[in-house]
Structure 1
């Protein structure tokens, strides 16, 4: 019988300790969540500063010259000679290069 009482007492102590630890962990986690919620509310409750108007962008530099037209035409001609481009595609691309 003394072994039975000892086992019951031991179980009660273990269960009590587990309950106490579990409650403390839950309480600490709840406090952390409450603190985070409070900080979020404070962050969004404060008026946000109005951004100042951005200074105007500097004027764009003069249009840079188009890539070397001759080189583009040579590359286009090579593609046409290799049979990669059809005559219509070649003519359209050539007009595009010369037109720009």
Structure 2
């Protein structure tokens, strides 16, 4: 029985060693072939730069419209104040309401 166990262990050791050597040889050969072929295409050229983020035009338009609307309202308030229709206090109150302060 001991002889049988010894034979099985020896066979496993030989098979394991053979597998390890075979894998090492395969990896070495693959490395040599890769060197002969040159660097992979990924390494030959630099990757393109990432695209620049672009703000959606639809988001910019309402903001611009809102800003021009506020400016127009402030101009109208200024004109009403110059004409004497609004007092300084009324002008300041309406101005702060439009500007949200």
Higher helix fraction: Structure 1 or Structure 2? 2
Under a length normalisation based on structure 1, what TM-score does the superposition of the two structures give?
Answer: 0.40
- The structure showing larger relative contact order (alpha-carbon pairs under 8 Å, at least 6 residues apart) is 1
